[in-house]
Homo-oligomer: A and B are copies of this chain.
């Protein structure tokens, strides 16, 4: 029996297992669900053990537990692959607007509804089905690559213990390639793989002026107004062409390759439809780049919030004592968060008169962007594997947000490949999350083909 045949035959068992797992409300953000997150980890550990992984363990993190599993390849020289996913889920209550119980998954035709069905339980579970199908098709007793899985339990809470977990277990997690299954494809009709996620660093800027709010009749026009200074600073963050005007901000930025640019341009992007989704009257951004390029391959500076002085009803004629802004920077491959932070500090120091107070407080060290090298063997293998499974050309996308994936690339020094079967329309993080079961099955099939392709590379 071939891979596809095996997977189609076992669809019923796969869906039943996924329903069972979805029924465990592993909401990492809610302390009341701590026990459920642990039960979810135990469920997965047992499932992976049942699948045949010789090693399947709970890993404690100081927060919510992760699951680690390993299945050595038959051939000792085979490549080592680490699969990353997470077993915790976003909060969900019927009162939020769900049509059904979010933790009692329901199947309607090809669609399975429930919290975590897409993000990320369905995408973790297809790996168990994929490796089973590969072994059934080949008749082997071990996969063609050494398969390691790390499935964390705090992704929806910002992965606070994940980097430390990687550091502590660097040896056991060492790999030739890390396969990330926690993203989305362009659409069911246009399968795609993500090849990059932006990084992030965020700060709060405070400009201070007089010791207290002062009356604008008595002092206005003759003392500096920190709100005005801050407005000038924020207005100066971008130039007229929409570029970030912080000197040195673009240091090291990797420009998109012509090949990737051409592939991005093939995506059937409908700007009007996208604007409706954004609820925005108009597109904006950096000159010389398409909307998708602005979202995926260009770094940005964004004012997330600001406040100063009187913000209540009516009039208060004051010069405010201070002004504040929260500003975040999306980063792209090649940018170092620490360097960007230093450049932002210098920019603020340059722009605020020395007599006024100016503080820039970053929320942490920031997150580096991550990207796959689209010319690499691993990406080419994954793309071919997906094309074999889907029977059509696979395009490239990126994501504008950030996740713990950059830690994997940085700490383990492994190239990343994103292999996913979710869709943007799956309503992850929203009521009525769903997943398309046929796409999960294609994910399993793609994984099986990918292990074959990577495993085959050890031979000449």
The reply on A383 being an interface residue by CB < 8 A is no
Q: Decide if B305 touches A316 in the complex (CB within 8 Å).
A: yes
In the complex, A278→B355 CA distance in Å? 14
Q: Which listed residue, B221, B309, B310, B314, touches A286 by the CB 8 Å rule? A: B221
Q: Decide if B316 touches A402 in the complex (CB within 8 Å).
A: no
Q: Decide if B298 touches A221 in the complex (CB within 8 Å).
A: yes
Q: Decide if B222 touches A285 in the complex (CB within 8 Å).
A: yes
Which of chain B's residues have a CB closer than 8 A to the CB of A305? 227, 308-311, 316, 318, 320
The reply on A376 being an interface residue by CB < 8 A is no
Segment with Cβ contacts to B, from A11-19, A148-156, A228-236: A228-236
CB distance from A270 to the nearest CB of B (A): 14
In the complex, A74→B220 CA distance in Å? 46
Q: Which listed residue, B221, B285, B326, touches A330 by the CB 8 Å rule? A: B221
Q: Decide if A202 touches B315 in the complex (CB within 8 Å).
A: yes
Which of chain B's residues have a CB closer than 8 A to the CB of A49? none
Which of chain B's residues have a CB closer than 8 A to the CB of A283? 222-223
Q: Decide if A235 touches B228 in the complex (CB within 8 Å).
A: yes
Which residue of the partner chain B has the closest CB to A312?
Answer: B305
Q: Decide if B303 touches A231 in the complex (CB within 8 Å).
A: yes
Q: Decide if A317 touches B306 in the complex (CB within 8 Å).
A: no
Q: A200-B317, A311-B305, A315-B326 are in contact. Are A278 and B228 (CB under 8 A)?
A: no
Q: Decide if A223 touches B328 in the complex (CB within 8 Å).
A: no
Which of chain B's residues have a CB closer than 8 A to the CB of A220? 295, 300, 302, 328, 330, 400
In the complex, A315→B363 CA distance in Å? 8
Q: A303-B308, A304-B317, A307-B306 are in contact. Are A228 and B237 (CB under 8 A)?
A: yes
Q: Which listed residue, B286, B311, B326, B402, touches A306 by the CB 8 Å rule? A: B311
The reply on A353 being an interface residue by CB < 8 A is yes
The reply on A198 being an interface residue by CB < 8 A is yes
List residues 186-201 of chain A with CB under 8 A from any CB of chain B.
198, 200
**Number of identical monomers bound together in the oligomeric complex:** 2
CB distance from A322 to the nearest CB of B (A): 12
CB distance from A199 to the nearest CB of B (A): 10
Q: A210-B278, A214-B279, A320-B303 are in contact. Are A291 and B228 (CB under 8 A)?
A: no
Q: Which listed residue, B219, B234, B326, touches A228 by the CB 8 Å rule? A: B234
The reply on A215 being an interface residue by CB < 8 A is yes
The reply on A63 being an interface residue by CB < 8 A is no
The reply on A169 being an interface residue by CB < 8 A is no
Which of chain B's residues have a CB closer than 8 A to the CB of A320? 303-305
Q: Decide if A306 touches B278 in the complex (CB within 8 Å).
A: no
B-contact 0/1 string along A398-424, CB 8 Å cutoff:
011110000000000000000000000
Q: Which residues of A contact B (CB under 8 A)?
A: 198, 200, 202, 209-212, 214-225, 227-228, 230-232, 234-238, 275, 278-286, 291, 294-295, 298, 300, 302-311, 314-321, 323-326, 328, 330, 353, 355-356, 363, 399-402
Other A-B pairs beyond A221-B330, A311-B324, 14, CB < 8 Å: A211-B280, A215-B401, A216-B302, A216-B330, A217-B330, A220-B295, A227-B304, A227-B305, A228-B302, A281-B355, A303-B309, A305-B316, A306-B309, A310-B326
30 contacts between A and B (CB under 8 A): A200-B317, A211-B279, A214-B279, A216-B300, A216-B302, A216-B304, A216-B330, A219-B278, A219-B280, A220-B302, A221-B286, A221-B302, A222-B278, A222-B294, A223-B285, A224-B280, A224-B284, A225-B303, A227-B303, A227-B304, A228-B237, A231-B234, A231-B306, A232-B235, A302-B317, A305-B308, A305-B309, A305-B318, A306-B309, A306-B323
